[in-house]
A and B are shown apart, each in its own frame.
Chain A
């Protein structure tokens, strides 16, 4: 079955942001993203500036999906981490269940340090994600529960 929708409560969102902020400091990284495997940005922390975070999230997911497809062709389940090293800026991606932890860093850090710190928070993020997925969200009123056809039409006017 397709994955269930992710419903992120305010408190959970701030908890995730706090974990990403700490990772950013520990890994001396520029920007940290948490993205789902379908390309949706869940949270971002760091020097975003003019960075197009939505496109980066989508491309990171596409990247992991493509390399995951290659992994399966050679008999692996998936490649749990991916790294791309540029002249100045680099990216490290770790797969954590249905989410991706994307770390953007430059020469103030190193791939080794980013790998180590990413691995250290993976377990913690994994538990948080499990909690989010298994949460009983019946008390959360869907913002669309009372939406009318006129509301939908108004989006296109």
Chain B
């Protein structure tokens, strides 16, 4: 949910990275954190287990700059991908302004992608959102691995409704900022509509 403070001239928006376990949601945030100037971002908070699996969420505030005199800040969240953390995923989607679905491009992860996509749809509806209308980007991650599905095939399987599809390798960076830009652009365009 967007929060506009006319006194401090700030706008805050919430973006959630969604997807199956081990698809690279946290890696996306880690890459953004590592590549951004310290004055433009806050801490990367990671509520993870001892084995670095996300337990509740990762969180990072990112200041993009000023638009029409208003500081524009995006709060980036990830959800825990593992199937049994569904209650947590529902909570994190509350108040979301834009969603990035991070798909694992490996052939053997297609079932997990589809299950997670279905779960996203269900949880968005449970929060009162129309999944067709929310700013949304599909990121095809891990494109550097040998066993990935061809672009056309995976796109045909996972694309829902003409949303931007971005190929990425979150561990080394290609596509990470393009994804963020694509979702941020849609969120800001929604704000323009009012």
- Spell out A's residues near B (CB within 8 Å): 1-10, 13-14, 36-40, 42, 52, 54-55, 58-59, 62, 65-66, 68-69, 140, 142-147, 151-152, 154-156
Against A, the Cβ 8 Å flags (1 = close, 0 = not) of B42-56 are 110101000000001
A8 near B3: Cβ-Cβ < 8 Å: yes
B7 near A143: Cβ-Cβ < 8 Å: no
Q: Which 3 A-B pairs have the closest CB atoms?
A: A38-B95, A13-B7, A65-B91
A10 near B7: Cβ-Cβ < 8 Å: yes
B95 near A7: Cβ-Cβ < 8 Å: no
Complexed CA–CA distance, A42 and B181 (Å): 26
Q: How far is the CB of B136 from chain A (nearest CB, A)?
A: 15
B129 near A2: Cβ-Cβ < 8 Å: yes
Tell me whether B87 is interfacial, beta carbon within 8 Å. Answer: yes
Tell me whether B127 is interfacial, beta carbon within 8 Å. Answer: yes
Complexed CA–CA distance, A14 and B6 (Å): 11
B1 near A146: Cβ-Cβ < 8 Å: no
Q: List 20 A-B contacts (CB under 8 A).
A: A2-B95, A2-B127, A7-B4, A9-B6, A37-B94, A38-B95, A40-B12, A40-B75, A40-B95, A42-B3, A58-B45, A59-B59, A62-B57, A65-B92, A65-B94, A66-B91, A69-B91, A143-B67, A143-B70, A152-B188
Q: Choose among A5, A52, A152 the residue that contacts B189 (Cβ–Cβ < 8 A).
A: A152
The residues of A that contact B11 with a CB separation of less than 8 Å are 143-144
Against A, the Cβ 8 Å flags (1 = close, 0 = not) of B165-189 are 0000000000001000100110011
Q: Is the interface of B mostly helix, strand, loop or mixed?
A: mixed
Tell me whether B82 is interfacial, beta carbon within 8 Å. Answer: no
Closest to B129 in A: A2
Tell me whether B194 is interfacial, beta carbon within 8 Å. Answer: yes
Residues of B in contact, count (CB < 8 Å) = 46
Complexed CA–CA distance, A38 and B1 (Å): 7
B181 near A156: Cβ-Cβ < 8 Å: yes
Given contacts A54-B61, A144-B68, A155-B65, contact A3 B185 (CB under 8 A): no
Complexed CA–CA distance, A8 and B61 (Å): 20
Question: Which of chain B's residues 79-94 have a Cβ closer than 8 Å to chain A?
Answer: 87-88, 91-92, 94
A155 near B72: Cβ-Cβ < 8 Å: yes
Tell me whether B8 is interfacial, beta carbon within 8 Å. Answer: yes
Q: How far is the CB of B171 from chain A (nearest CB, A)?
A: 21
